[in-house]
């Protein structure tokens, strides 16, 4: 593995998914991991005095709205009709 790949993996870690394997779950998990990574960056920038707290809050709120839209669009948390008929 080259140093560029090592650096990328260090800055953007990705952990294996361990839940029920369905395409929508995998996509949502990737979205959630990206959200967590971005929130971490924003928090570090705010803590380091690079961005004001209000900007950090607004950015995180916007990212959270994206996660909520993704959850709704992918149908996460809703059981398919077939599984409800037991």
Task: Tell me the mean pLDDT in the region 76-80.
Answer: 78
Instruction: Give backbone dihedrals phi and psi of 49, rounded to 5 degrees, phi first.
Output: 80, 15
pLDDT reported for residue 20:
83
Q: Which residues contact 42 (CB under 8 A, 6 or more apart)?
A: 51, 56, 59, 60, 63
Angle between helices 23-47 and 53-74 (to 10 degrees): 180
Tell me if residue 44 falls in helix, strand or coil: helix
- 8-32 residue pLDDT tens: 777 666 677 787 889 999 999 999 9
**Alpha carbons 37 and 3: distance in angstroms, whole number:** 21
Note the pTM of the prediction, 2 decimals: 0.74
Domain chopping of the chain, boundaries = 26-76
Report how far Cα 78 is from the mean position of its chain's Cα atoms.
19
- 46-74 residue pLDDT tens: 999 999 999 999 999 999 999 999 999 99
């Amino acid at each position: 593995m080259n140093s560029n790949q090592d650096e990328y993996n260090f800055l953007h870690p990705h952990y294996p998914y361990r839940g029920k394997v369905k395409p929508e779950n995998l996509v949502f998990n990737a979205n959630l991991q990206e959200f967590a990574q971005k929130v971490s960056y924003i928090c570090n920038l705010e803590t380091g005095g690079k961005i004001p707290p209000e900007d950090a809050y607004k950015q995180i709120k916007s990212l959270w709205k994206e996660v909520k839209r993704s959850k709704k669009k992918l149908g996460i948390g809703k059981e398919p009709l077939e599984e409800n008929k037991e």
